């Protein structure tokens, strides 16, 4: 070792720099490049695999949340005594059937209240009933469907089938089950369609090809629209593991490319079958970009290597001479001679270093003081940042805590048999969640009406028989976009001033939505206490005076009125008509070609 050290010490600096560059930079760089290339490929594949596993688990959880809604509704309907009465009754005329349908609207109400549901229909062989798309008599073709037979054979267990809806000819992932087997006179089969758009929206966020398939390998949702409704047997019939495996991951060749497949099963309680979430990514696509970067880097490194050898060798002599002079002066400073000055010509780094050398010694103490001051300022900044973080954490409110708490209260009320309390808590939670999710964006009328329905049900729970309500909306008006939370304040105002100021008798609140030539007319009518003409004139004056601050009791009307005017123009504000002792009507118009500024 000493002999080798002596040999190295005898080599001239320019040659030594070249050897050191080759031994210490080039050779390790080549070895490291090969190792890193292999490891990078493995890391990319492992990262993509971990991402696929996480994506599949996230999709599975969100899909489970969606399909729990129709599952919960099916349990409610299976124990619905009113539904049992409608289905088991022997009707003497069509009038009796139509009257019964008008009295029982729960099936349509569920569709309107839950965005996870596309439709509900009940097949019952009661020959005295009429088909109205909610209640249907199964014909021979329906009775011979595998899903219909399985539902009858499974005695109340839930099944999930990809089936065509007779109403619109579209195929949906649907819940099927025979309900209340022992008490009903007729073997009835309940079908609840899951909203396909919502399922596809869950998958649309995924980077890799991801599908949800049923037990027959039908693709019921996908992040590629062209795959929806196809069968895996047609696409990957040569890969039986993809068709039959319910959990785990495996390697497979797809279209001539090595790929990885991640599968997770989704099995719900009391179901005779389940669903699977499948995610696929091709390995060449994952490492393609990395391979390109590595290839370009290798070419650059090779060219740089030869140029560096020449430059190192040619410039080593010049550098060594000037460095020797610099070393001597640095030795003087190291020995404590702070008055030493160095003069080396040239405008390169060494020349600049020589010119800065003199000032370095002079600024040394100043620099140390600046470092100390900088550390002190950094310490103060970190302390203030920690204080801000603590205050932010202390002031955070997690909406999920509120929703989880309300859900726990609802479940506890359900367990104790307090169904009315459970429903009220659920409606409050749904209303709060909708209000938080809406933000400032425009929403469809049916979303707003769902919020109004939840609010009315909560007030109905509070006031019981003193409050009655009717919601009438024309079907072709449900898709019209409207300002969020624009109808609910009007309904709230009707209840507060119409019902609570009424000494006796029930108050009826009506919400009518219908199309007219100019657009969509929305009216909120009550038969409550009404408003005197003097008071009505005063209210109109406050609404029109934009400079005046709204009074507390009129802040809801003023807020709605101002938002309508700002969005559609002054002619489209609130119109209020009232007769004292008879009731109040509040209405406004959504223009046909209106453009909102929200």
The whole-number average pLDDT for the span 517-542 is 88
The pLDDT of residue 398: 47
pLDDT over threshold 80, residue 542: yes
| Cα angle for residues 339, 368, 370 (degrees, 5° grid) | 125
Are residue 163 and residue 84 in the same domain, yes or no?
Answer: yes
* Position 156 in a domain: yes
Q: Give the distance, in angstroms, between the CA of residue 8 and the centroid of all CA atoms in the same chain.
A: 66
* Position 387 in a domain: yes
Q: Which of the 8 DSSP states describes residue 464?
A: G
Q: Give the distance, in angstroms, between the CA of residue 270 and the centroid of all CA atoms in the same chain.
A: 28
Confidence band for 88, pLDDT divided at 50, 70 and 90: confident
* Position 257 in a domain: yes
* Among the listed residues 174, 167, 170, 194, the one whose alpha carbon sits nearest the alpha carbon of residue 111: 194
pLDDT over threshold 50, residue 584: yes
Are residue 311 and residue 379 in the same domain, yes or no?
Answer: no
* Position 412 in a domain: no
Q: Phi then psi for 235, rounded to 5 degrees?
A: -90, -45
Are residue 42 and residue 164 in the same domain, yes or no?
Answer: yes
Are residue 104 and residue 176 in the same domain, yes or no?
Answer: yes
Averaged pLDDT score across all residues of the chain: 77
- CATH code of the domain in which 578 resides: 3.30.565.10
Are residue 147 and residue 179 in the same domain, yes or no?
Answer: yes
The pLDDT of residue 470: 92
Structure tokens at 487: 């109808």
Q: Phi then psi for 579, rounded to 5 degrees?
A: -125, 125
Q: Specify whether the backbone of 2 is left (phi greater than 0), alpha (psi in -120 to 50) or beta.
A: alpha
Range of the domain at 546: 439-591
Decide which of 325, 354, 381 is a domain's last residue.
325
The pLDDT of residue 395: 40
Q: Is 138 helix (H, G, I), strand (E, B) or coil?
A: coil
| Cα angle for residues 350, 353, 354 (degrees, 5° grid) | 90
Are residue 315 and residue 348 in the same domain, yes or no?
Answer: no
Are residue 381 and residue 444 in the same domain, yes or no?
Answer: no
Confidence band for 389, pLDDT divided at 50, 70 and 90: very low
Are residue 157 and residue 304 in the same domain, yes or no?
Answer: yes
pLDDT over threshold 80, residue 316: no
Give the chain's count of helices (H) and strands (E).
Answer: 19, 17
The pLDDT of residue 282: 79
Are residue 221 and residue 145 in the same domain, yes or no?
Answer: yes
Contact 512, 589 (CB under 8 A): no
* Position 415 in a domain: no
Confidence band for 154, pLDDT divided at 50, 70 and 90: confident
Lowest mean pLDDT among 239-253, 270-284, 381-395, 413-427: 381-395
- CATH code of the domain in which 240 resides: 3.30.450.20
pLDDT over threshold 50, residue 397: no
The whole-number average pLDDT for the span 291-311 is 70
* Position 413 in a domain: no
pLDDT, tens only, 213-240: 988 889 888 888 888 888 888 877 677 8
Decide which of 325, 359, 375 is a domain's last residue.
325
Are residue 196 and residue 250 in the same domain, yes or no?
Answer: yes
Contact 415, 399 (CB under 8 A): no
* Position 427 in a domain: no
557 or 382, higher pLDDT: 557
Straight-line distance from the first to the last Cα atom of the chain, in angstroms, rounded to the nearest whole number = 80
Are residue 139 and residue 283 in the same domain, yes or no?
Answer: yes
Contact 493, 511 (CB under 8 A): no
pTM above 0.85, yes or no: no
The pLDDT of residue 401: 45
**Distances 278 to 156, 372, 407, 432, 589 between C-alpha atoms, Å:** 29, 58, 31, 34, 48
* Position 482 in a domain: yes
Contact 129, 135 (CB under 8 A): yes
Count of structural domains within the chain: 3
Are residue 78 and residue 137 in the same domain, yes or no?
Answer: yes
Q: Phi then psi for 325, rounded to 5 degrees?
A: -65, -40
The pLDDT of residue 57: 85
The pLDDT of residue 413: 62
Q: Is 208 helix (H, G, I), strand (E, B) or coil?
A: coil
The pLDDT of residue 315: 66
Q: Where are the beta strands (DSSP E) in 488-534?
A: 507-516, 519-526
The whole-number average pLDDT for the span 410-426 is 64
Confidence band for 456, pLDDT divided at 50, 70 and 90: confident
The whole-number average pLDDT for the span 271-279 is 88
Other residues' Cβ atoms within 10 Å of the Cβ of residue 161: 23
The pLDDT of residue 378: 54
């Amino acid at each position: 070792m000493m002999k080798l050290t002596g040999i190295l010490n005898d080599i001239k600096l320019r040659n030594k720099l070249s050897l050191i560059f080759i031994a210490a930079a080039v050779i390790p760089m080549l070895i490291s490049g090969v190792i890193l290339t292999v490891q990078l490929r493995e890391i990319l594949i492992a990262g993509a695999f971990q991402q696929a596993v996480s994506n599949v688990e996230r999709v599975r959880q969100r899909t489970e949340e969606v399909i729990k809604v129709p599952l919960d509704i099916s349990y409610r309907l299976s124990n619905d005594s009113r539904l049992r009465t409608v289905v088991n009754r022997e009707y003497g005329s069509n009038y009796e059937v139509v009257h019964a349908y008008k009295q029982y609207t729960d099936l349509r109400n569920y569709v309107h209240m839950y965005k996870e549901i596309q439709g509900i229909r009940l097949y019952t062989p009661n020959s005295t009933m009429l088909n109205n798309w909610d209640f249907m008599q199964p014909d021979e073709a329906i009775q011979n469907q595998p899903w219909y037979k399985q539902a009858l054979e499974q005695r109340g267990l839930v099944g999930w089938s990809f089936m065509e809806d007779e109403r619109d000819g579209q195929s949906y992932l649907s819940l099927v089950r025979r309900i209340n087997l022992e008490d009903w006179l007729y073997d009835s089969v309940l079908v609840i369609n899951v909203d396909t758009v919502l399922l596809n929206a869950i998958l649309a966020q995924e980077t890799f090809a991801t599908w949800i398939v049923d037990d027959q390998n039908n693709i019921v949702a996908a992040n590629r629209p062209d795959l929806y409704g196809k069968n895996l047997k047609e696409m990957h019939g040569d890969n039986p593991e993809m068709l039959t495996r319910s959990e785990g991951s495996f390697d497979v060749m797809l279209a001539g490319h090595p790929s990885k497949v991640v599968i997770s099963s989704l099995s719900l309680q009391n179901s005779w079958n389940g669903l699977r979430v499948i995610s696929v990514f091709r390995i060449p696509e994952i490492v393609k970009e990395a391979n390109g970067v590595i290839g370009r880097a290798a070419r650059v490194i090779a060219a740089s290597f030869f140029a560096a050898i020449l430059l190192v060798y040619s410039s080593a002599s010049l550098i060594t001479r000037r460095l020797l002079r610099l070393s001597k002066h640095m030795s003087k400073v190291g020995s404590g001679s702070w008055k030493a000055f160095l003069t080396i010509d040239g405008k390169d780094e060494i020349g600049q270093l020589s010119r800065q050398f003199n000032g370095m010694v002079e600024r040394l103490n100043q620099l140390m003081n600046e470092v100390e001051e900088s550390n002190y300022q950094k310490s103060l900044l970190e302390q203030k940042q920690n204080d801000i973080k603590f205050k932010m954490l202390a002031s955070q409110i997690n909406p999920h805590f509120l929703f989880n708490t309300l859900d726990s209260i609802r479940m506890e009320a359900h367990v104790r048999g307090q169904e009315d309390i459970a429903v009220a808590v659920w409606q409050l939670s749904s209303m709060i969640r909708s209000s938080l999710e809406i933000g400032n964006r425009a929403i469809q009328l049916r979303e707003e009406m769902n919020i109004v329905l939840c609010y009315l049900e909560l007030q109905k729970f509070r006031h019981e028989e003193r409050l009655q309500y009717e919601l009438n909306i024309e079907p072709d008006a449900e898709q019209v976009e409207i300002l969020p939370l624009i109808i609910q304040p009007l309904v709230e105002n009707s209840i507060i001033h119409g019902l609570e100021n009424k000494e006796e008798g029930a108050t009826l609140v009506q919400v009518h939505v219908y199309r007219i030539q100019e657009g969509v007319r929305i009216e909120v009518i009550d038969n409550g206490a009404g408003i005197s003409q003097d008071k009505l004139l005063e209210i109109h004056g406050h609404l029109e005076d934009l400079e005046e601050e709204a009074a507390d009791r009129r802040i809801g009307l003023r807020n709605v009125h101002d938002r309508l005017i700002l969005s559609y123009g002054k002619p489209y504000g609130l119109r209020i008509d009232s007769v004292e002792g008879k009731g109040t009507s509040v209405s406004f118009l959504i223009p046909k070609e209106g453009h909102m500024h929200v």
